[in-house]
Amino acid sequence: MNKSVRKSWVVPLVSGIVVLALVLGGAFWWLGRDDSDSSSDRSEKSAPTSPDVVAPSMPEYPAAATARTEDGARAALQYEVDLLHYVQQTGDVAALEQIYDYEYCTGCAAIRDALAATLANDNRIKGGTYTITNIHFVAFEVPATDGGEPYWLVEMSHMRTASAQVAPNGTSVNEDPGEEGTLNLQITFRNGKWVVHSLSVKSS
């Protein structure tokens, strides 16, 4: 598929960190901060000691998402959200390969890279739970200019709860209050499953 067509929906952004802040609604805005900054606007406190938590298992690609239908596409987008939650809790950034096509999707690659930086050194993300509030199919079977797989254009609205980056010692830093947003996505059905080829924030 023509890469220029795929990337045309991706908002031009200065860096991967900025992409993540825009695409995921700012849940990881602290990635752009200077950690040496000790000003009062940086929140840092010790989280209460809690029992060991068993790491969740990686969610399996749902059978419902193997259908080339609206319901199948909805199931695939829910799987994307489930994978993000799993990655935030485990640091297993490689799991995102199950749904993101990095060859074309620069927004997807930026999310991966920023999450990898945030979750380095066994850091984790507490909260930041995404809930899909609406999925609107804008267009179906849009042909690629080079004869590759056609894609669907989708608008996905979501809500995100408050979140914080948590260090291995339980210290919680750079808390974020959460928000609502809408994403533009291009999704393609390939080899019996849906994959995300383009991802960007819907402009207001």
The model's pLDDT over 151-196, given as tens digits with 9 standing for 90+, comes to: 999 999 999 999 999 999 999 977 889 999 999 999 999 999 999 9
What token pair was written down for 11? 């908002």
Which CATH number fits the domain that encloses residue 150? 3.10.450
State residue 148's pLDDT score. Answer: 63
Q: Does residue 102 register a pLDDT over 80?
A: yes
pLDDT of residue 80: 97
120 found inside a domain: yes
Asked if 90 contacts 125 with a C-beta cutoff of 8 angstroms, the reply is: no
Domain count, the chain: 1
pLDDT in tens, 30-79: 333 333 333 334 344 444 434 455 779 999 999 999 999 999 999 999 99
The pLDDT assigned to 144 comes to 72
What six digits make up the tokens of 67? Answer: 């259908």
- Residue 182 has a CB neighbour count (10 Å cut-off) of 16
**Residue 132 identity (one-letter amino acid):** I
138 in a domain, yes or no? yes
Report which listed range, 10-19, 27-36, 94-103, is most confident. 94-103
167 domain residue, yes or no:
yes
| pLDDT score, position 45 | 42
Q: Which position has the higher pLDDT, 151 or 147? A: 151
63 occurs within a structural domain: no
Whether 96 is covered by a domain: the verdict is: yes
Q: Is pLDDT larger for residue 82 or for residue 27?
A: 82
List helix spans (H) across the chain.
3-7, 16-23, 70-90, 106-118
Domain range enclosing 149: 16-31+75-200
On whether the pTM is more than 0.85, the answer is: no
Mean pLDDT of 16-28: 41
Distance CA(45)–CA(29), nearest Å, equals 18
Average pLDDT over the chain, rounded to whole?
79
pLDDT at 8 over 90: no
- Local confidence band at 147 (pLDDT 50, 70, 90 cut-offs): low
